[in-house]
Amino acid sequence: MTSTYTTQGLDPTTSRSPADPARGGHERDDALDLARDLDAGLATGLAGPTPVPAPVPPLPPIDEFHRDAWSATDVEEAREQLEVALGGRRFRARPGAEPFSFRFATAGDRRLSLQTGTFTGHLQGIIPWSRDYVVSWFPTGSVTIDYPKGHLTSVGGRPFLTPTETSYSFAMTPHRHSIVQLDAGFLEDVAATRHGGPPQRVDFDHAAVPADDALAAWRGVLAEVTPVVVSPETGASDRLLAQTALAEALLDLFPWRPVAVPAELRTERTRRLRLAAEYVHAYVDRAISSSDIAAAVDMHPRTLQQQMQEYLGASPTRFVRGVRLDRVRLDLLHGDPRTTLVSEVATRWGFVHLGRFSAAYVARFGEYPRDTLAR
């Protein structure tokens, strides 16, 4: 059985680690292989998912560089290493048809890291709640993910997004995969430069298939920035520029929209309430009741009422009305005063009594709808 663990200081251009020139044998060779995996696998757009959970406190500075690698030839030891590396739970593994091998490497910082790995066995387990955004792809093998909103299955080497701010279970066949993991605050800051508002949760369409031109652009940017992101010699400003370019490419890869979710809801404890808020944002153009919202997130209606009042300061009915008013305001701000009718916009968002609508609008925004439209 051969097992190695190597950390920062790998030099892929030599046969030695600059941190310890005396190293040799399997440890040195495995480390070099893993470093090459990271550079070659990510730069060419190979393989897929195994999201990495939020770091355990105390957290290092967000721009503190790390470069780590693991390998093993024993399936049980590989399972243990990967469960620790990913912060997962209840990992189970069994060998596949081919001789077993495991390699996993990661490089970057807390803002953005690139990861790649090979696991020639079957693996399943649970990935805990995390705020990070993770895009993955599998050139060989596949993964199926089950989470509260449904399930995802990887398709060939096509990138896909793993669930964010929720735990999920997964089952992988023997595979080779790659991952780009982005800190939530970082990606949301980049997205804010697009939508023009304050940083907000980025709600991606997980079911969307990337367009060919967006996919080609993503792969091109990935190939360009990988050497910059994974090199310990890269300066802080150059690394940030490369990370930002990749974040921009991700925002072009999948459809998304900003969702104003209070910080209090972006915790594991309030996960169901956040899902309730997201359900409202997704279906606010329909006739939805408190019971509909509670059923969608598997909460008792009374619990939903209590938690919304506690964390959002509003009943479910008032919260829905507030979201609808926000949508009306957006439409009026972007509408043409010559052709847009306030009554039509209000009706489209579910307001039947225009007098009550106008009063609620003034109470929320401090101006009449017609004044918003006239801007």
What is the average pLDDT across 43-72? 63
C-alpha to C-alpha distance for 95 and 93, rounded to whole angstroms: 7
59 pLDDT band (50/70/90 cuts)? Answer: low
Which H or E run includes 102? strand 102-108
Backbone CA torsion sign across 236, 238, 244, 247? negative
- Whole-number pLDDT of residue 297: 87
pLDDT in tens, 111-155: 999 999 999 999 999 998 888 999 999 999 999 998 877 788 999
Number of residues written out for the chain = 375
Question: How many CB atoms are located within 10 Å of the residue 341 CB?
Answer: 10
Q: Where is pLDDT greater, at 38 or 138?
A: 138
Q: Are 256 and 190 in contact (CB under 8 A)?
A: no
C-alpha to C-alpha distance for 87 and 127, rounded to whole angstroms: 7
C-alpha to C-alpha distance for 259 and 325, rounded to whole angstroms: 15
Q: Where is pLDDT greater, at 243 or 17?
A: 243
Distance of CA 164 to the CA centre of its chain: 5
DSSP state of 38: I
315 pLDDT band (50/70/90 cuts)? Answer: very high
Token match 């079911």: residue? 207
Q: Which is nearest to 372 in space by CA: 331, 322, 344?
A: 331
pLDDT in tens, 241-284: 999 999 999 999 999 988 877 777 778 788 888 888 888 887 88
Buried b (16+ CB within 10 A) or exposed e, 39-55: bebbbebbbbbbbbbbe
Residue 2 has pLDDT above 90, yes or no: no
Q: Are 35 and 12 in contact (CB under 8 A)?
A: yes
Q: Where is pLDDT greater, at 247 or 12?
A: 247
C-alpha to C-alpha distance for 282 and 296, rounded to whole angstroms: 12
- For the chain, list the domains and their CATH numbers: 3-256 (2.60.120.10), 261-373 (1.10.10.60)
What is the average pLDDT across 218-241? 95
- Whole-number pLDDT of residue 101: 95
Residue 286 has pLDDT above 60, yes or no: yes
pLDDT in tens, 340-365: 999 999 999 999 999 999 999 999 99
What CA dihedral angle connects 179, 182, 184 and 185, to 10 degrees?
180
